[in-house]
Structure 1
């Protein structure tokens, strides 16, 4: 039987459950990411495996890429607002009656 210390130990090669706990995401999300090659993973037989060192490197690259926002994006104008919707048929009828 495993003790609490052994269960929380992070191994160098992890299965999908261990890696999802390590990354703080659901196993379903990690499975999707692995299938799409979004995270570094490999298959051992028909099961996904994840190397801790590769996940750490990947997380480091992801976080530094997010921090380096291009200057053009920082100064991007805010979203252009749509003009207000037209008042509708009743208002159009009133303005036509006033104009005639």
Structure 2
């Protein structure tokens, strides 16, 4: 099993979201990311756990639907 650090573009492709969404999640939703110089890097298992615990959930969506 390959355990390497993923870039913003790679994690965005993996999750099916745009890079702007990734940067927003880092700043607003405490997405697990690690700064390496000027770059953000991600461990897939950390991101998977974060999503499974609701980290990427849109908490305001329910309120706006009512």
TM-score (norm 1): 0.48
- The runs of 5 or more residues in structure 2 that have no matched partner are 58-65
Equivalent pairs counted in the alignment come to 56
Q: For residues 13 and 35 of structure 1, what CA distance do their matches in structure 2 show?
A: 19
Higher RCO structure (Cα 8 Å, ≥6 apart) = 2
Structure of larger gyration radius: 1
Q: For residues 26 and 19 of structure 1, what CA distance do their matches in structure 2 show?
A: 9
- The runs of 5 or more residues in structure 1 that have no matched partner are 1-9, 67-78, 80-100
Tell me by how many angstroms 1:57 deviates.
Answer: 0.8
**Post-superposition, which runs of at least 4 consecutive aligned residues in structure 1 deviate over 2 A?**
35-38
1:32 aligns with one of 24, 36, 56:
24
Tell me by how many angstroms 1:26 deviates.
Answer: 0.5
1:51 aligns to what?
43
Which has a greater percent of helix? 1
Q: Please state whether the residue corresponding to 1:13 is helix, strand or coil.
A: coil
TM-score (norm 2): 0.69
What do you get for the CA RMSD once the two structures are aligned? 2.3
Structural mapping, 1:53-72, within 5 Å: 53-62=45-54
